[in-house]
Amino acid sequence: MRLISMRMVRAMAVSAVVAVSACATSQPPVVSVPSSAAPAQPGAPAYYVVVAGLDVVVRASGDGHVTGSVAIPEQAGTSRAYAGAEVFGGLDDRHFVIVFSRGGDLLGVAEDTLFLVTVSPDGRPGRLDRLAFDNQGVPVTGVALSPDGTTVVLSLTNEFPGQAPYGSVVLINARTGATQTWTGRGAPGYWPGVPSWAGDGTVEVPWWHSESAGTEPADLFGVRELNLASAGGSLLTAPLVTYPVPVRGLQSAMIAPGGGYVVASSCRAGPGRHTGTARIIELSPATGRAVEVLRTQTTRFGNNADVQDAISSTCRVLSAVDGGGLVLAQAFAFGRIDNGAFTSLPGTSLPGTSPLPHVLPVSAAW
């Protein structure tokens, strides 16, 4: 798969929900808050949002306690198998986009439903408002939301089995439903990553490369800058900041809003038997050079298959704000990184699950 197939991550999480809780409710199970949880630094978002099964759950950034939850509407097809959801945040801790998916990864099969949700100042989620958009069977792989919550930017990736993937970026006016599209059809093997709102009507996207959609990890070649005032067209005409040397072998990367650092995950098997090492690193936005290691976690697993599963599904940067100084990430363990200091937080909470290394993929955002 290209990087990690997010539809597979969602399916894994939802399958676990079905297996351990056939009578799930709209309130997530009670999970103990880590005793070592430290208050989030001044200026950090007050809340983060996670997807727990078929619930959208709001948690306090300081210690992870639940402040509210809302169920994904039944009309989204939540009763169907192989479904899952992912959450993306805006530039604050108030506006979020939920991407509910079913149908798998293949082009023409994936069915994505988008919802907008606003979180109140006291951490209560409002209703999920469906956003009018037909993904036409092309998987949505990343979302950026404007500061006022009125403009949604999507990255989509066409994945033909055995062929090099390519991607597109779609802008949606949440009020009118009008869309603009930029396509990368002319560059097979390259695709846009999770978009980031840079300000002044500009969106930046990591520019990934791999010769096959069936391989991971992938290589980051640079960052493309899209002027949203344009009428769309070819992604290849958008300015590209190309790194002198591509950053090889990453699982994920996000650009901090406002044109900040690129925060990426880089995970490998080893160094010992049945172990894996997860790293969250900060890259220069201009050169791609690693300027800081924010988090390193080495964990022993039951066997090599567990190691590979963990690298594929629990090695991700989920959200980055404050120029990259504040990060939500899953380096096997899920938590927040405040200028290099890691605090473990509750993520996807399921009854009957145990701590590392048997960790579930987390979908979370600020």
The count of other CB atoms within 10 Å of the CB of residue 198 is 21
**Contact (CB, 8 A) for 116 and 131:** yes
pLDDT band at 165 (very low <50, low <70, confident <90, very high): confident
Q: What is the pLDDT of residues 19-48, one digit of tens each?
A: 333 333 333 333 334 444 566 677 789 999
Q: What is the CATH number of domain 6-23+46-365?
A: 2.120.10.30
pLDDT tens for each residue of 49-97:
999 888 999 999 999 999 999 998 865 554 444 457 899 987 777 899 9
The CA radius of gyration of the chain, in Å to the nearest whole number, is 19
End-to-end CA distance of the chain: 26
Better-predicted residue by pLDDT, 165 or 155: 155
Count of Cβ atoms closer than 10 Å to residue 100 Cβ: 24
Burial group, residue 212, by CB count within 10 angstroms (0-12, 13-18, 19+): middle
* Domain coordinates in residue numbering, the chain: 6-23+46-365
pLDDT, one tens digit per residue, over 292-326 is 999 999 999 988 888 988 888 899 999 998 888 89
Contacts of 195 (CB under 8 A, 6+ apart): 142, 143, 144, 153, 154, 155, 169, 203, 204, 205, 226
> Residue 15 phi/psi, 5° resolution?
-60, -35
The residues, any chain, with a CB within 8 Å of residue 19's CB and separated by 6 or more, are: none
> CB count, 10 Å around CB of 241?
15
Q: pLDDT category, 170, cuts 50, 70, 90?
A: very high
* 3 and 217 Cβ atoms separated by less than 8 Å: yes
